[in-house]
């Protein structure tokens, strides 16, 4: 999906796991999925807090 997002011209793009589970992965054990979700949210928050020139 990043290609679609890039075509729309946003300032920030965070790559998720896929269309069905953009911020998770049901094939992972529960603890690993929680870690993945936390990492993606942290990455998104960091992107939002970064100035765009």
Contacts of 11 (CB under 8 A, 6+ apart): 52
Q: Do 43 and 14 touch, CB atoms closer than 8 A?
A: yes
pLDDT given for residue 11 in this prediction? 74
Give the tens place of pLDDT for each residue, 1-53. Answer: 567 677 777 778 777 777 777 788 888 999 999 999 999 899 989 988 888 77
pTM for the predicted model, two decimal places: 0.69
pLDDT given for residue 1 in this prediction? 56
Place of tokens 């970064």: 50
Place of tokens 């896929």: 18
């Amino acid at each position: 999906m990043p290609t679609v997002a890039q075509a729309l011209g946003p300032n920030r793009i965070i790559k998720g796991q896929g269309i069905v589970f953009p911020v998770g992965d049901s094939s992972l054990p529960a603890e690993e999925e929680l870690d993945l979700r936390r990492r993606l949210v942290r990455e998104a928050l960091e992107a939002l807090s970064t100035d765009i020139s």
